[in-house]
Every structure is written in structure tokens, then in C-alpha cells.
Structure 1
Amino acid sequence: MKLISWNVNGLRACVRKGFLDFFHEQDADIVCLQETKLQEGQIELDLPGFHQFWNYALKKGYSGTAVFTKMKPLSVWYGVGENVVEDEGRIITLEFDSFYLVNVYTINAKRDLTRLPERLMWEDALRDYLLQLNEEKPVIYCGDLNVAHEEIDVKNARANKGKSGFTVEERGKMSTLLQTGFVDSFRHLYPHQTDSFTWWSYMRDVRARNIGWRIDYFIVSNQLAPLIKEACIYKDVMGSDHCPIGLELTTYTNKTSHS
């Protein structure tokens, strides 16, 4: 089973920059998008064989998530409860026969960290939610999680300490999640690989010089770790300030109908 996740930073713009070419080339079973920046009816994608699910933010041109899947889910829902911001279109959960998929665009703490308290509440609520799901079925949790977990995940760790996405608090929440039954699929396969980033500033030459952060993830339940065949970063795919990431799970089948 092959999955793709991508913060497209505006899907309409990304489509103009080759999104559909990448989508069709990869032929993934599930594609998860973040920061679609769309309202209902603002785009129509002809994706034969895929079920489409969208979560739109109330604020126009902001946030938003989507999932395109060949497999028909048993159920789909949006948000995780009263303590999590749900009007920003940040979460889609799909239930399949043998796993849950949770696609997330995590709150950014903002440069001045004014949203950090809300971000930390979000992390706690989301972790509780993932643990609840994990008691029933394994979980695949993916998206732009807006945190570089370890120093290896950011180009200039010393200079960025304490900044949004690299605070002790945000990194600590990721550590806590990984200690409660989940695995960072990329680091599971490549624990020491450096210069592997998924986001770059739009400042001049930053991406060309690979001065980036790894803030996009596929995190899976521990029981799925032995099935991780590949976890990849498509660093050369343009169209957004993020690049897509991929996950392949071996010998993992889903009985849900494709119809």
C-alpha cells in the first residue's frame, strides 16, 4: 500500500505547477493534502477511481485538508472534539477495515509564539484521540505537523532553538507521542540521515542550498513498524514550499471495496 502526503500551500496554485502530473505518476492508493486553501466548489478534480474527501476552513483561502483514496472507507469524520480547533479544516479521519488514517494540518505556533498555548492544547487532545483510535485499530497519522522533532531535522539547529516549530515544548509533545506507541516512519528506516527536509523558506536560494526543516511526517502505530517498506521524501518535486512525502507498507491489505 502506497500513501502520499503533501502540504500544497494552495491547491489551485499547485495544480498549475504540475500537481496532477505528480499525482498520476505516483499512482498511490491514498493521497493526503494539507493547506488546500479552498472553499467548496472552488476546484473540481477529475480523479477517476478515487473517492474525494474535503475539510474546508471557514476562513476563505486558509488551511484546509483533503484525502483522495482508491479504497472506500467505512466512515469519515472531521475534527476530534470541543478542545480542538475544528473550523479551520485541519483534520480528516478515515476508517478502513484494518486501520485508521488521520490526515492533519497542525496549528502553527506563529513567529511570536502567540499561538503556542493553543498549539500545546491541540497536541494533547490529538494524542488522546490517536491513542483512543489505536486501541481499536492501528493508526496511520500523517501531514504537516509543524515541528522539527530532533536537531537532525533542521539545518541550523542552534540558530533555530526556541523558534516556532522548534521550541522545547513542541518537540517534547512529539517525543511524548512517539513514546506512547507510535513510530516516525522516516526515522525508523533512516535514523541518522541528515539534510532530509520537507519544507524550505521562500527566501532566495534557500531551497537550492537545502536549508530546510523536516516537518511533514508519516507516523504509524508500533504494530505497523515491521511493515514499513519505504518512507521517502520527494525533495525535487516543486509546486509548494513543502515537498511531498511517501510511505509504502508491505503485505498490508485492506478488504474494503474499491467501489
Structure 2
Amino acid sequence: MKIVSWNVNGLKAITRKGALEKIIKDYDVILLQEIRSQDVPLDLLISGLNISAFPSKKKGYSGVMSISKPKPLSVIKGLGIDEFDSEGRVLTLEFQKFYIINAYFPRAGDGLVRLDFKIKFNKAIENYALRLRENKSVIICGDFNAVRSKKDSSFWDETEPGLTPQEREWLNNFIKKGFVDSAEKTSKMEYTWRSYQFKWKAMRIDYCLVSEELAPKIVDFQVLKIEGSDHLPIMVELSD
């Protein structure tokens, strides 16, 4: 199975640019973050693909969408916690052998005004993922809005969103609880986000983490060179 995760920074914009078409035909599951829309484009609705969307209640903000060729056994929207679910941040597809969680983590915000909110979200999604893992394997992909270490950023300031010790500590501790960073497994550590305004600012903040028992099934990991957003899509391929 080939899984793509992409913060599209606006579904309508990425659709107009034709960038989404480039990945739909080649991959089995596509996880989109920051769709910023309550509407599913008509061409997707009539495509015959399995479309699940979980938009934010606030228009033009956040939201996630999952597109899959195989039909999921079930779809779970949100974490069951309104303060996070109102922002449309988590969407889970259940398949026979594993769950695939599509996650758009909050940004800590300028001046770190949402850092406490983000850490609270981190703990909630951690509990959620670990509960799911009691049933079957878990794959969690998305924009985590955080780096793991200095090698994941072109600049360093621990007061910057995504670079704080609290965010890095949580992410690394979560991985230690039974997950594998697909990029690390394949040694393809590339930046996935670059600032539109400051081109020298780039970070690796998009991840596909898989339950450690799935690690031997990782065939490939790539950062896809498809333009259209300030993020690049990431792809992980797992053998059957």
C-alpha cells in the first residue's frame, strides 16, 4: 500500500492548480491536512474513490480529508474532544490490518500563544493512538508542526513554533512508545516545509509514523517534489 500525506494549505487552491490529480492516480491512500474547506470538489465526489472529510467548524481554517482506493472498514472522525474536534484535526480510516490516522497538529502559534493547547492536543492524540493500537497496528501521518532535533530545521530558535523543547520532547517520547519514523527507517531525512516569505526557513515537520511491528514492511519513503503548497507531500510504501 502506498500512502501519501500532504498539508495542502487550501484544498480549493491545490485543486485549481491540478496538483492533487498528480497524486490521486498513483497512490492508494491520500491524507490531506489544512483543507480549509467545508466542501468536497465535485470531481472527487464523482471519482468513485472513498472520500472522508472532517472540516473545521470555522470556515477557511484547518480541516482534514482522506481519500482511499480500498474501502475502509470504518471511519472515525475526531478524538471525541470538542475543543480539538471543532477544528477538524483528526480523521481515522480502519482497514483489516491497521488504522491510518490522518492528523493535523495545531501550530504553537506566534509568541507560542497556543503551545499549551498544542501539548494538550498531543497528549489526547497519543492516548487515542495507543488505545487503537490495543486492537491492531497504527499508522499516523500528517503535519505534526514540530521537529525532532536540530537536523530537522535549517535554523534554530527554541522560542519558534515547532522548535520548542516541549514539542520535541513529546514527539520523541511518543515514538519511543512503539512507533517508527518512516523517514528515519529509510534514511531520507529531507525538509518538508519551507516558508513562502523567508526561503531560508525550512523544517521537517511532516511524518508518517508506523507501529514498530510494521517497520519491516516499509518498502520506500519519499518526499515528493510536487509543488502547490508550502509543504511537500510525503509518501510511505508498505508491503502486503
TM-score band by shorter chain is over 0.9
Secondary structure of 1:128's partner? helix
- Show structure 1 runs of 4+ deviating over 6 A: none
| Residue 64 to residue 83, structure 1, CA distance change in 2 (3 Å) | closer
- State how 1:186-205 maps to structure 2 within 5 Å: 186-190=183-187, 196-203=190-197
The answer on whether the counterparts of 2:146 and 2:168 sit within 8 Å (CA) in structure 1 is: yes
Task: Tell me, in whole angstroms, the C-alpha distance in 1 between the residues paired with 2:21 and 2:36.
Answer: 20
Deviates more, 1:119-128 or 1:14-23: 14-23
Match of 1:244 in 2: 233
Match of 2:130 in 1: 131
Task: Tell me, in whole angstroms, the C-alpha distance in 1 between the residues paired with 2:24 and 2:68.
Answer: 13
Q: Which consecutive unaligned segments of at least 5 residues does structure 2 have? A: none
The answer on whether the counterparts of 1:52 and 1:67 sit within 8 Å (CA) in structure 2 is: yes
Match of 2:172 in 1: 175
Match of 2:19 in 1: 19
Match of 1:44 in 2: 42
The answer on whether the counterparts of 1:52 and 1:66 sit within 8 Å (CA) in structure 2 is: yes
Match of 1:212 in 2: 202
Letter matched to residue 163 of structure 1: E
The answer on whether the counterparts of 2:57 and 2:88 sit within 8 Å (CA) in structure 1 is: yes
The answer on whether the counterparts of 1:55 and 1:91 sit within 8 Å (CA) in structure 2 is: yes
Q: CA deviation at 1:21?
A: 3.4
Letter matched to residue 116 of structure 2: P
The answer on whether the counterparts of 1:84 and 1:122 sit within 8 Å (CA) in structure 2 is: no
Match of 1:147 in 2: 146
Q: CA deviation at 1:111?
A: 1.4
1:226 to 201, 206, 216: 216
TM-score in terms of structure 1 length = 0.88
**Residues 91-141 of structure 1 deviation map (CA, whole Å, 9 limit, x = unaligned):** 101111110010010011101111111111111111111111111110010
Match of 1:156 in 2: 155
Q: Which consecutive unaligned segments of at least 5 residues does structure 1 have? A: 253-259
Match of 2:8 in 1: 8
Task: Tell me, in whole angstroms, the C-alpha distance in 2 between the residues paired with 1:163 and 1:214.
Answer: 14
> Highest relative contact order (Cα 8 Å, sep 6+), 1 or 2?
1
Task: Tell me, in whole angstroms, the C-alpha distance in 1 between the residues paired with 2:137 and 2:206.
Answer: 20
**Residues 190-242 of structure 1 deviation map (CA, whole Å, 9 limit, x = unaligned):** 1xx56x111010115x1xx6x410101100000001111111101x3110010
**How many residues are treated as equivalent by the alignment?**
239
Q: Taking every aligned residue pair, what percent have the same amino acid on both sides?
A: 39
Task: Tell me, in whole angstroms, the C-alpha distance in 1 between the residues paired with 2:20 and 2:182.
Answer: 25
